[in-house]
Amino acid sequence: MIIFLTTRGNHNTMRKIASDIGRSVFKCRDYGWLLSKKHVPAATYIFSDMERLSTKELQAVAAIYKCLERSGARVLNDPAKVKVRYALLHHLHEKGLNPFQCYHADTRPKPKRFPVFARNDNDHAAPLSDLLASQDELDRFLDDMIDRGIPLNGVLITEFCARPIREGAYKKHSVFRVANAYLSHPPVAQDHWCVKYGTPNFQNDEQLDESIAEMRDNPFADAMIPYFETAQIDFGRSDFGLTDEGIALYEINTNPDIKVVRKHRYPPLVAAVEESYSRILEAIRGLDSSSGPPIEISIPQKRVWRFEHPFRRRLRTH
């Protein structure tokens, strides 16, 4: 059995995986379920969504991770070790793995390079700003946020680092890690500096053939190892760009969408994406642990998560 743990309402990313592996083998559960149990099934546990947890929530699930680990269960993504967003980008820059830096907005940063953009530290929504070309533009943007009653706490300012594939167009590459396997994931291109889902029918056949070759040959697998090791993430998807300064890693998502293309004007792309998905699916299926007796969750001052309205969610200590 494999149990994939997320914050409440964020299971959709794994719906197809659960269906294709079988819901009796691959189960999605939220942390409220985990934190309310005295015993849990013997299984492989994958922890995700650490950036969406409050400090107390993170401490609670990290304690249960250690309890599962001590019991002999297979566990991925130690919440006490995983680096997300600011911590990851900061460490990658310090180690020379990333050419750009990010900053906490509430420190009123003075970035070393421009342009920059603003985004929330704890979600996967679109950026809060367009590209800001100078220190004056950044300062005016932050002042405007404050004037509009928007706190700077939890906002990141990130130096933009990307190389266009043509004017106004950018490409994002991805590698999926599943334990010790590093697997290609379909790259996407978009007619915007912030590449998320890609622009439909945007690439020509030659560019699509390049993407197909990338999925087939998996050329970035070895290059991604130090990035995942720095992040201490065992399961997730890296998103990165190729720049004149080398690889620029933007994020490692522990609860990622896994791309599937059912229809496309270029049939070879559909086949390549399906093959990529199948390899990821098989690697996840391989995490299945043998059955055994239930695992007792025994930690000091066990915390129970009470799900209420999102703004009134809290932990109780018993």
End-to-end CA distance of the chain: 29
pLDDT value at position 312?
39
Q: Of 233, 235, 171, 162, nearest to 203 (Cα)?
A: 171
Tokens of 26: 């691959």
pLDDT value at position 316?
44
Q: Of 273, 282, 224, nearest to 251 (Cα)?
A: 224
pLDDT value at position 262?
74
- Across the 318 residues of the chain, what is the mean pLDDT of every consecutive 10-residue run? 94 92 95 92 96 92 95 96 95 97 97 97 89 98 97 97 91 96 94 85 87 96 98 97 96 90 84 94 93 83 46 42
Chain mean pLDDT for the chain: 91
pLDDT value at position 309?
38
pLDDT value at position 313?
46
pLDDT value at position 39?
93
How confident is the model over 254-275, as pLDDT tens digits? 999 887 877 788 888 899 999 9
How confident is the model over 163-200, as pLDDT tens digits? 998 888 999 999 999 999 999 999 999 999 999 877 77
Q: Are strands 74-76 and 314-317 parallel, antiparallel or unpaired?
A: unpaired
Q: The whole model's pTM is what?
A: 0.91
Cβ atoms 183, 273 nearer than 8 A: no
d(CA 189, CA 232): 28
pLDDT value at position 116?
98
